[in-house]
Structure 1
């Protein structure tokens, strides 16, 4: 008798969960971006949020929750209800590197469900216009000749810009003095104003300022030039062999979110990425679309685990820690 009652209760709960998933979404959805407004993550999230609204029939709101290299914003999402109404937006820095840099009160893999892999972009070495160098070789010579390290803006310890800066140091033999911000948007503003010397930045964050002539670009960390900015050489072409790094982004939800809701969110993002206007916006930002077969939750989960295996030993060997 008891077994029959328990079976009935389980059946009712399952049907209730299915009904909830079927009615989803019934109210606005929040995408938590763990960096300041105006930065590359914020820009991508807002483009996608607007297009997702049309598919899901509900407002999709971007909330910027900054601090600690993005770990505070990710934590906010992790500890939200697993109902599909809170999405964690992040990238290589927030959902891979931070696990090796910070003592997180959550597990980046165990406490999150992957939703979809998003567009990626290489890093770009940029400086304020007052720097006298006009090529990467000249920049490296200038950096090495300084009596004190040049200042380099980052989005915080362990962020993509910080890891890329450390990687740049290792590949070139130079030293930098890092200046942390709540995102590379504010860091870029200070670079334009001449308050810091360089950023090893996401291309999507800096490319419009490079085009406007307010900062100077030297090279990108890819094996091919950008279609949207073919005049910028690769690091290999500019004389720094082996400096290659791609910063990919993704979306996650709290662990325990119903599978059907994950599928709905995935489908909404995939539809958005297939939209011609969205593709054009991403291309203008220097972003590259993921292959179609990589647009599944499983593909993002596999990418995240593989990147943890790759980058954690590098980060720990470089002794990247919170100051």
Structure 2
């Protein structure tokens, strides 16, 4: 955890220096003329937070301004999302999250925002989902052991996820369906707190992105039982997918993007999109993403919209089935 804290502190410091090392061309064009805030709707230390901090560093260089990460955790991401939805639509307050915060959470609870409250700026990162157990847990020497344990009694397997409606939660629901089992699901305000409780023995498994769990896997503290996606992850060679293990297809790949409040001027949206497209190609951003177990890539606003559409279809079906509910 000390390594992770140092990494986050370094990223925060670099993001704050963005204006000192960046160009002034963007400011001279009217945007950005002051610091930009990226709101992360989850606790520090999780997948979304780490992605935000790496992107903030590069975006600060491009814009020639400080880019600050503001963690506003709670309610499956809706607290942070509400803050951005209510912000001035000027491009200086942005939301970085997966599609679930925008389209899934409003399906579960009444929120003061909806999908139409935001303008997609672009996708910036993707990460594989992995099912984790702690080291030396005698019950789970393999994924098949875990499956047998989960099927041996309803609610017997205590499974952590990062909040209602998150990709982690949807992956949990998908795995329940594939295995024909019912877990005792425990919701957390992000991956960071869930990882701590998994290591401490308060939960049996955690559905997490490789990004936020890789350091614990490398340290041998946590064991990856299966990749919850269509293909193996290069960061975890030899770890098979659920399909390869013989239990069917599941896709928990997490796509992370940036949104602005609806009503943000079109020219500002376009400048932000162009700046982000440049930022995700920054060698430091690419290397940081790779080191953390994810992929930095640019997806247009249109591609982000398609990701939102796909997530919405999953969420509405799960809601109709009565399986997607707020805590």
TM-score by length of 1: 0.88
Contact preservation (8 Å) 1:151, 1:177 = yes
1:115 equivalent in alignment to 2:127: no
What is the CA distance between 1:186 and its match in structure 2? 0.7
Could you list the runs of 4 or more consecutive aligned residues of structure 1 that deviate by over 6 angstroms after TM superposition? none
* Other-structure match for 1:124: 130
Contact preservation (8 Å) 1:86, 1:253 = yes
Contact preservation (8 Å) 1:97, 1:315 = no
* Other-structure match for 1:309: 313
- For residues 284 and 187 of structure 1, the distance between their equivalents in structure 2, rounded to whole angstroms, comes to 22
* Aligned residue-pair number: 301
Please give the secondary structure, in 1, of the residue aligned with 2:244.
helix
**1:209/1:318 CA distance change after superposition, 3 Å:** farther
User: RMSD over aligned Cα, in angstroms?
Assistant: 1.9
> Once the two structures are superposed, what CA deviation does each residue of 1:214-265 show, in whole Å capped at 9, x if it has no partner?
0111111222211222121111112221122322111100011111211121
- For residues 56 and 38 of structure 1, the distance between their equivalents in structure 2, rounded to whole angstroms, comes to 25
Please give the secondary structure, in 1, of the residue aligned with 2:128.
strand
Contact preservation (8 Å) 2:42, 2:48 = yes
- For residues 92 and 252 of structure 1, the distance between their equivalents in structure 2, rounded to whole angstroms, comes to 10
Q: 1:209 aligns with which of 216, 227, 230?
A: 216
* Other-structure match for 1:67: 74
- For residues 195 and 209 of structure 1, the distance between their equivalents in structure 2, rounded to whole angstroms, comes to 17
Q: Point out where structure 1 has 5 or more consecutive residues left out of the alignment.
A: 1-19
1:322 equivalent in alignment to 2:326: yes
Contact preservation (8 Å) 1:112, 1:254 = yes
Q: Point out where structure 2 has 5 or more consecutive residues left out of the alignment.
A: 1-26
> Once the two structures are superposed, what CA deviation does each residue of 1:154-202 show, in whole Å capped at 9, x if it has no partner?
2222222221111111111122112221111110111111121111112
What is the CA distance between 1:144 and its match in structure 2? 2.1
* Other-structure match for 2:34: 27
What is the CA distance between 1:131 and its match in structure 2? 4.6
* Other-structure match for 1:8: none
* Other-structure match for 2:17: none
What is the CA distance between 1:122 and its match in structure 2? 2.3
Contact preservation (8 Å) 1:21, 1:258 = no
> Once the two structures are superposed, what CA deviation does each residue of 1:284-308 show, in whole Å capped at 9, x if it has no partner?
2222344x6xx22222123212331
Contact preservation (8 Å) 1:128, 1:196 = no
- For residues 285 and 314 of structure 2, the distance between their equivalents in structure 1, rounded to whole angstroms, comes to 31
> Once the two structures are superposed, what CA deviation does each residue of 1:41-78 show, in whole Å capped at 9, x if it has no partner?
00000000011111101100000001100011101000
- For residues 280 and 225 of structure 1, the distance between their equivalents in structure 2, rounded to whole angstroms, comes to 20
**1:147/1:97 CA distance change after superposition, 3 Å:** closer
Q: 1:247 aligns with which of 245, 254, 265?
A: 254
TM-score by length of 2: 0.87
1:299 equivalent in alignment to 2:303: yes
* Other-structure match for 1:13: none
Contact preservation (8 Å) 1:136, 1:239 = no
Pairs within 5 Å for 1:128-167: 128-129=134-135, 130-146=137-153, 148-167=155-174
Contact preservation (8 Å) 2:134, 2:223 = yes
* Other-structure match for 1:46: 53
Please give the secondary structure, in 2, of the residue aligned with 1:113.
strand
What is the CA distance between 1:310 and its match in structure 2? 3.8
* Other-structure match for 1:195: 202
Please give the secondary structure, in 2, of the residue aligned with 1:288.
strand
- For residues 153 and 309 of structure 2, the distance between their equivalents in structure 1, rounded to whole angstroms, comes to 39
Contact preservation (8 Å) 2:147, 2:179 = yes
